[in-house]
Amino acid sequence: MKYVGIWDFIMVPLFLVLAHYFSSSTANKMIGENPEYKYYRKGFLFKIYAGLAFGLVYAFYYGGGDTMVYWRDAKILNSMIFYEPWCYLKILFGDTKPLYFYCFDLSEHVPHHYLRDQQAYSVSRLSAPFALLSIDSFFGCTILVSWLCFGGIWRLYTVFVEEYPALQKELAIAFLFIPSVAFWGSGIMKDTYTLTAACWMTSSVYGLFLKRRNVVWNLVYVAFSVYVMVLMKPYIFVALLPGTLIWVVFNRIQKIGNPMVKILAAPVIIMVGFVLGAAVFSQTAGQLQEYGSVDAIVNKAVATQEDLKREAYEGNSFDIGVIDPSIGGMARMAPVAIFAGLFRPTLLDVRNPIMLISAVENTALMLFLLYMLYSVGVFSFARYVFTKPMILFSLVFAIFFAFAVGLTTSNYGSLVRYKIPSLPFLLASLYMMRFNKEQDAGLHQMDEFDPEKNTG
């Protein structure tokens, strides 16, 4: 078996036993004070086994792929420990100058991505410690990566539960149990690291600005999360930043009790938020490369979509139309791009079993969204969005991210992977909206049966 070796039969059972023990002991330890931990074990194991499923699909269905290349490059980097330890440490911690390419034993171990694609090679660098711990086991390494990256999405889940404690089950479904998110976000891939980085950044911004706790650690988490996103997929940070700032700004405005003070303070707070956002964006623009300016983003979108329309992708691609490389042109494409980023592939687009899973999810999500629009009403839907900061943030990020992905991706194979960060936020926003609707309906019924209010 090409991708299965003796170490897989040793490391996989060992890591699975440890995963079951760790998840059970953690849940039992924490559940007394944190009821949401009743979902910890199931969520953790769901991600671990989703990572294994991901590895098996790539090994035996696709016959290889990017994830194996990342793992192989990680092993090659680790082999340098014994003959070039200084070079190993330099490369491992991000100093990947072309000069250090000659530190590798090029007669036997030539890294695939080192000179070709530094964004891709960063996956191998971050995975190298896990490849080292798993010795020569691809599936063992996959389990360890899934294990590490579960921390981010669990932390974000607890943040949403802190704001909506009555929605523990629903939010667990949104963040922990969406099959395609767990599948595509648990292997040795960019998507896994960037998804957990987005979750760490969001949860740390919440702790830093909205709760003002663990300031130093949350600053560290934000900085490292931004580093990972910019390193691998800068557009995720670009999509996350506006929603995060809106969340913080509107949360501060909403907490002002005096209506007159709120009206006077709102423009100032909004201005400060935009200035802060512009400052963060300008400071990171150099690292964002082709995402560092609006014009560059537009040109990148056009070039990427045109590349994905090539004949090489025929049969597994779709076309949202010709993009006019201007802000107005992109705005006109927004509805089609957002629909593609959120709800494609549809059941009519399915070409293989992997696409079918995503298509079923997309259909269920679209029906849930339509149901909420119908049951809540368009105006009430908008009212909940603009009066509930967490709902506003979740929807802004999901829609903005879906727009970016739908605009720049014309290949279904890429789309089902690229879109996964938006799905938990969209589903969570719908659950929160439904909860607020039910609360309002309950209060209305209480008013109707309150004898003091119905004495006429």
Q: Name the pLDDT band for 331 (thresholds 50, 70, 90).
A: confident
Kindly tell me if the per-residue pLDDT of 348 is higher than 90: no
136-175 pLDDT tens trace: 999 999 999 999 999 999 999 999 999 999 999 999 999 9
Query: Helices in 309-421 by DSSP H: which ranges?
Result: 327-343, 353-376, 378-387, 389-408, 412-418
Stretch 304-317: mean pLDDT, rounded?
A: 54
- The CA-CA-CA angle for residues 257, 260, 262, to 5°, reads 55
205: in domain: no
97: in domain: yes
209-261 pLDDT tens trace: 888 899 999 999 999 999 999 889 888 888 888 888 888 877 777 776 666 65
Stretch 355-361: mean pLDDT, rounded?
A: 88
Q: Name the pLDDT band for 351 (thresholds 50, 70, 90).
A: confident
Q: Name the residue range of residue 11's domain.
A: 6-145
Domain end point (choices 130, 145, 160): 145
Type of residue at 64: G
Kindly tell me if the per-residue pLDDT of 328 is higher than 80: no
Kindly tell me if the per-residue pLDDT of 76 is higher than 60: yes
What's the distance, Cα to Cα, between the start and end of the chain in Å?
Answer: 81
56: in domain: yes
Instruction: Lowest mean pLDDT of 277-291, 334-348, 381-395, name the range.
Output: 277-291
Q: How far apart are CA 230 and CA 117, in angstroms?
A: 14
Q: How far apart are CA 149 and CA 351, in angstroms?
A: 30
Q: pTM for this one? A: 0.88
Q: How far apart are CA 438 and CA 58, in angstroms?
A: 44
More confident residue, 284 or 361: 361
Q: Mean pLDDT score of the chain, rounded to an integer? A: 84
Q: What pLDDT does residue 455 have?
A: 42
By C-alpha distance, which of 159, 275, 146, 276 is closest to 218?
Answer: 159
Task: Give φ, ψ of 113 to 5 degrees.
Answer: -95, -10
Q: What pLDDT does residue 269 have?
A: 54
229: in domain: no
Domain end point (choices 121, 145, 169): 145
Type of residue at 186: S
Stretch 366-373: mean pLDDT, rounded?
A: 92
189: in domain: no
Domain end point (choices 145, 178, 193): 145
Q: What pLDDT does residue 309 have?
A: 54
Q: How far apart are CA 350 and CA 348, in angstroms?
A: 6
215: in domain: no
